[in-house]
């Protein structure tokens, strides 16, 4: 324990004031809440008209607002629940991406709605209408999703059949959730372009976007995160959680993803011993797999569900 303390504390004592100041800026840029959805990447702006068609559908479809900790403003979590067209015990819980919100998952909501599912779309911590000052990149969010799962079971009873689905940070959230003691009502997981760990993703982006080395910045940001959110980045991992997973899981990833590299999909796939499938989508960038061919995407997910969601 002493060795670990000095290993983590040393960068704080030895790093230059400039490196420490930049690390605080980096932490705030990456982890601090923003109350808007950033513009999508240029490669996906060509899908804007189609995206807003889905948003219009989402805004008009009859729905309910669900809460966790409704009377506690500092911990309140908010979700939209869309009942299936015909009464169903099948529910998909959808986890959105980094700095997104539940509305940004409108396309997936409609896809699963058309497949006969009830749809539950939460806003994660520090996103949308939910409380929180800092983004936990899925680690603390996984605890909220356990509560959302229990909310579905309370509504529909012990015969509920639940699918977990997420994209990007949402995909990693579901991968991290997979290692928890999930109830039998959770039948399967679909994780689209999730990262292998928060630490590995940060180190990758430090190099690719900022042209910076891991040291001293990752240990500094990790220590700041420990003080803000209670854990070091290296202490949490999608792969470690997936090693405990027992639910069938479909991994989807764009072959041309330069934000969460496709290598992470292979790492996540190898990490779990549960029934699993991997679909690498040729020509797709980050979170683009659906938009390349929505009908093909739905068909591929349906094939997986035909096998494992029974």
Helices (H), strands (E): how many in the chain?
12, 8
Using the 8-state DSSP alphabet, how is residue 188 labeled?
E
Our CA dihedral for 208, 214, 219, 222, rounded to 10 degrees, sits at: 20
Flag whether 298 is in a domain: yes
- Chain segment 107-163, per-residue pLDDT in tens: 999 999 999 999 999 999 999 999 999 999 999 999 999 999 999 999 999 999 999
Flag whether 207 is in a domain: no
The pLDDT value given to residue 15: 52
Choice among 17-26, 171-180, 196-205, 300-309 with the minimum mean pLDDT: 17-26
Tell me which residue range forms the domain holding 12.
1-32+213-234
Flag whether 164 is in a domain: yes
Coil vs helix vs strand at 219: helix
The pLDDT value given to residue 6: 35
Strands of the chain, DSSP E: 64-68, 77-82, 90-95, 118-122, 161-167, 186-192, 249-254, 276-281
- In this structure, the answer to whether residues 168 and 48 fall within a common structural domain is yes
Total number of domains constituting the chain: 2
- In this structure, the answer to whether residues 221 and 291 fall within a common structural domain is no
Q: Which residue has the tokens 């808007």?
A: 36
- In this structure, the answer to whether residues 106 and 172 fall within a common structural domain is yes
Q: Write the CATH number for 55.
A: 3.40.50.1820
Mean pLDDT of 42-64: 96
- In this structure, the answer to whether residues 170 and 295 fall within a common structural domain is yes
Phi, psi (deg, nearest 5) at residue 48: -60, -45
- Chain segment 81-122, per-residue pLDDT in tens: 999 999 999 999 999 999 999 999 999 999 999 999 999 999
């Amino acid at each position: 324990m002493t060795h670990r303390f000095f290993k983590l504390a040393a960068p704080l004592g030895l790093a230059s004031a400039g490196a420490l100041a930049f690390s605080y800026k980096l932490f705030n840029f990456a982890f601090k809440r923003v109350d808007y959805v950033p513009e999508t990447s240029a490669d996906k702006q060509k899908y804007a008209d189609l995206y807003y068609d889905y948003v219009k559908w989402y805004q008009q479809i009859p729905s309910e607002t669900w809460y966790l900790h409704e009377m506690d403003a500092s911990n309140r979590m908010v979700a939209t629940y869309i009942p299936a067209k015909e009464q169903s015990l099948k529910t998909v819980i959808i986890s959105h991406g980094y700095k997104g919100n539940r509305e940004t998952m409108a396309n997936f909501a409609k896809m699963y709605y058309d497949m006969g599912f009830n749809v539950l779309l939460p806003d994660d911590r520090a996103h949308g209408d939910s409380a929180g000052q800092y983004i936990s990149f899925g680690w603390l969010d996984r605890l909220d999703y356990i509560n959302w799962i229990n909310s579905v079971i309370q509504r529909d009873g012990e015969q509920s059949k639940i699918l977990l689905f997420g994209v990007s940070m949402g995909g990693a959230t579901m991968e991290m959730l997979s290692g928890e003691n999930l109830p039998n009502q959770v039948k399967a997981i679909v994780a689209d372009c999730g990262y292998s760990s928060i630490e590995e993703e940060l180190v990758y982006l430090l190099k690719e976007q900022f042209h910076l080395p891991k040291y001293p910045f990752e240990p500094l940001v990790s220590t700041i995160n420990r003080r803000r959110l209670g854990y070091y980045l290296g202490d949490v991992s999608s792969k470690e959680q997936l090693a405990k997973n027992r639910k069938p899981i479909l991994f989807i990833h764009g072959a041309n993803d330069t934000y969460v590299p496709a290598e992470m999909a292979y790492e996540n796939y190898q990490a779990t011993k549960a029934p699993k499938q991997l679909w690498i989508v040729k020509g797709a960038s980050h979170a683009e797999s659906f938009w390349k061919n929505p009908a093909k995407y739905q068909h591929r997910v349906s094939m997986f569900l035909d096998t494992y969601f029974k």
